[in-house]
């Protein structure tokens, strides 16, 4: 095994572990958000289903999740979902944009473990 192969093996293993840990921590935060919104928390574990549930919590039809497959449209739709999700939990637009779209990891912890209450209509 030469230097490049060993470096690639080290990088891929380390990156995989990092992503796995990051995903598990995100699932914990999403689990709390899902339960606050009245959905089973275990749905946060399933990769595609968790996105559908987030879209439904935001108040959109689950079928609109397919918009994430269209380039450029997916960015706009993700911002709209983040803003609507923030409204459902009583948060403002700035919080929603930065902490539910850009830094979703942090925003979900704040909503999930904070005192935010879910309302169906904002």
Q: H or E element: which one contains 56?
A: helix 47-57
pLDDT in tens, 57-77: 999 999 999 999 999 999 999
Instruction: Answer for the pair 60, 82: CB distance below 8 angstroms, yes or no.
Output: no
Two tokens, residue 96 = 């929603």
Instruction: Answer for the pair 74, 82: CB distance below 8 angstroms, yes or no.
Output: no
Answer whether residue 118 shows pLDDT above 80.
yes
Q: Write down the pLDDT at residue 120.
A: 85
The overall average pLDDT reported for the chain is 90
Distance CA 33, CA 113 (A): 8
Q: Write down the pLDDT at residue 122.
A: 47
pTM for the full model? 0.85
3-state secondary structure of 39: coil
């Amino acid at each position: 095994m030469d230097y490049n192969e060993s470096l690639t093996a080290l990088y891929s293993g380390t990156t995989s572990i990092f992503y796995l840990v990051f995903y598990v921590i995100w699932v914990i935060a999403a689990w709390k958000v899902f339960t606050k919104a009245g959905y089973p928390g275990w749905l946060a574990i399933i990769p595609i289903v968790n996105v559908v549930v987030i879209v439904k919590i935001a108040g959109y039809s689950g079928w609109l999740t397919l918009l994430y497959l269209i380039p450029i449209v997916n960015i706009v739709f993700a911002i709209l979902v983040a803003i609507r999700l923030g409204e459902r939990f009583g948060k403002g637009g700035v919080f929603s944009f930065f902490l539910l779209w850009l830094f979703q990891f942090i925003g979900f912890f704040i909503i999930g473990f904070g005192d935010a209450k879910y309302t169906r209509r904002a």
